[in-house]
């Protein structure tokens, strides 16, 4: 067995095979169009690769995608040293080929390939099949809790200093505090826009509107959000609240934006930095996440992801 990058023709063949797994809400034609559109996004064009596990005769046994994402190590003096990490998505084996360990072999060969990258830090994935499969290849699971809030009527801008537009993603990220940790992941504005592109694709199928804002600021605090996928929800992609009052104000603005767009709820991923604030938000409900279990694997011996590594929703692929 060996690992090879997929050609454009092979990517199209994979799209047809994976429709049954990930094509919910879309026709086959719509799903194929979605995949082409997402691969054409600037972030995917620059940082996405599709990988094939092939038998000795060239037959494809399993496949996956990787997206390069930013990460940082903190030097002993506190300086941040940038590097590359890789988010892994769409791990797929045809049903007739399952049960033979192909996915595990794919993950092992992929890790060896990624370890050879000159700035490699770590690999990150979001498992929908529990931790066992990926633990075989050295991945460690992280906590996975969601917070849900019901939409609320009212003007979203009334509780905050400003509402953000899609063009504000870069300045908004610059406002946010980096984690005070020896290692962490950090997305780019283009990476976050890839999530918003998913919402642009799905909105016509969901019976709702695209949110008019992409986030908000209040005091020193910032949140970024959007309609980002197959559910009519306002998803918080990044959240940096400096106080309980500012956390409440940001999430009230998100609730009002969800109501204005006709969305069913606001969803925020729990992180170490917001875990103590969210129970103070009236009406917020904590729920064990269904799928998208974050798992991380170092790609270098000097990279040590902490046990409570923050993984905001903006890192998901």
CA distance 99 to 207: 39
Are 243 and 309 in the same domain? no
Are 218 and 256 in the same domain? yes
Are 262 and 310 in the same domain? no
Of the pLDDT bands very low, low, confident and very high (cuts 50, 70, 90), residue 231 is very high
CA distance 79 to 146: 32
Could you say which DSSP state residue 315 is in? G
Are 274 and 299 in the same domain? no
Residue-level pLDDT at 72: 98
Helix (H/G/I), strand (E/B), else coil: 79: coil
CATH number of the CATH domain containing 231 = 3.40.630
Are 299 and 259 in the same domain? no
Are 73 and 191 in the same domain? no
Q: What is the 3-state secondary structure (H, E, C) of 158-186?
A: HHCCEEECHHHHHHHHHHCCCCCCCEEEE
Dihedral of the alpha carbons of 97, 101, 103, 105, in degrees to the nearest 10: -130
| Among 144, 124, 169, CA closest to 271 | 144
**For the segment 108-121, what is each residue's pLDDT rounded down to a tens digit?**
999 999 999 999 99
Are 247 and 309 in the same domain? no
Q: What is the mean pLDDT of the chain?
A: 97
What lies within 8 Å, CB to CB, of 304 at 6+ separation is 182, 183, 298
Residue-level pLDDT at 90: 97
Helices 28-40 and 189-206: crossing angle in degrees, nearest 10, is 160
Are 150 and 283 in the same domain? yes
Of the pLDDT bands very low, low, confident and very high (cuts 50, 70, 90), residue 299 is very high
CA distance 17 to 6: 14
Residue-level pLDDT at 159: 96
**For the segment 52-96, what is each residue's pLDDT rounded down to a tens digit?**
999 999 999 999 999 999 999 999 888 999 999 999 999 999 999
Residue-level pLDDT at 61: 97
Are 299 and 248 in the same domain? no
Q: What is the pTM of this model?
A: 0.96
- In this structure, the strands spanning 215-218 and 266-269 are unpaired
- The pair of three-digit structure tokens given for residue 149, joined into one six-digit string: 């809030």
Q: Please tell me the total count of domains within the chain.
A: 2
Residue-level pLDDT at 192: 98
The residue-averaged pLDDT of 203-231 equals 96
Of the pLDDT bands very low, low, confident and very high (cuts 50, 70, 90), residue 36 is very high
Are 172 and 279 in the same domain? yes
Residue-level pLDDT at 272: 96
Residue-level pLDDT at 56: 94
**For the segment 265-284, what is each residue's pLDDT rounded down to a tens digit?**
999 999 999 999 999 999 99
Residue-level pLDDT at 315: 98
The residue-averaged pLDDT of 137-151 equals 97
Of the pLDDT bands very low, low, confident and very high (cuts 50, 70, 90), residue 38 is very high
CA distance 60 to 100: 13
Residue-level pLDDT at 247: 98
CATH number of the CATH domain containing 84 = 3.40.630.30
Domain of residue 149 covers: 145-288
Are 136 and 24 in the same domain? yes
Are 183 and 90 in the same domain? no
């Amino acid at each position: 067995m060996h690992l090879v990058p997929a050609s454009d023709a092979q990517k199209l063949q994979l799209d047809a095979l994976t429709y049954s797994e990930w094509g919910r809400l879309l026709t086959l034609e719509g799903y194929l169009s979605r995949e082409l559109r997402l691969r054409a996004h600037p972030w995917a064009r620059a940082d996405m690769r599709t990988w094939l596990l092939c038998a000795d005769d060239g037959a494809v046994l399993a496949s996956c995608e990787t997206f390069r994402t930013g990460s940082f190590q903190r030097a002993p003096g506190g300086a941040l040293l940038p590097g590359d990490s890789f988010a892994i998505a769409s791990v797929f084996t045809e049903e007739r080929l399952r049960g033979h360990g192909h996915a595990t072999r794919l993950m092992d060969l992929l890790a060896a390939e990624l370890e050879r990258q000159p700035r490699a830090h770590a690999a990150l994935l979001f498992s929908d099949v529990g931790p066992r499969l990926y633990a075989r290849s050295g991945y460690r699971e992280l906590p996975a809790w969601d917070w849900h809030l019901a939409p609320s009527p009212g003007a979203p801008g009334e509780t905050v200093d400003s509402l953000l537009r899609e063009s504000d993603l870069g300045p908004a990220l610059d406002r946010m505090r980096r984690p005070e940790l020896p290692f962490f992941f950090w997305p780019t504005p283009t990476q976050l826009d890839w999530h918003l592109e998913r919402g642009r694709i799905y909105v016509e199928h969901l019976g709702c509107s695209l949110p008019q804002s992409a986030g908000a600021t209040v005091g020193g605090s910032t949140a970024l959000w959007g309609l980002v996928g197959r559910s009519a929800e306002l998803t918080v992609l990044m959240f940096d609240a400096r106080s309980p009052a500012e956390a409440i104000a940001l999430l009230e603005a998100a609730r009002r934006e969800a109501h204005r767009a006709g969305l069913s709820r606001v969803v925020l991923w729990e992180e170490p930095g917001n875990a103590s604030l969210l129970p103070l938000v009236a009406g917020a409900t904590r729920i064990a996440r269904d799928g998208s279990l974050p798992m991380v694997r170092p790609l270098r011996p000097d990279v040590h992801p902490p046990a409570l590594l923050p993984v905001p929703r903006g890192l998901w692929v």
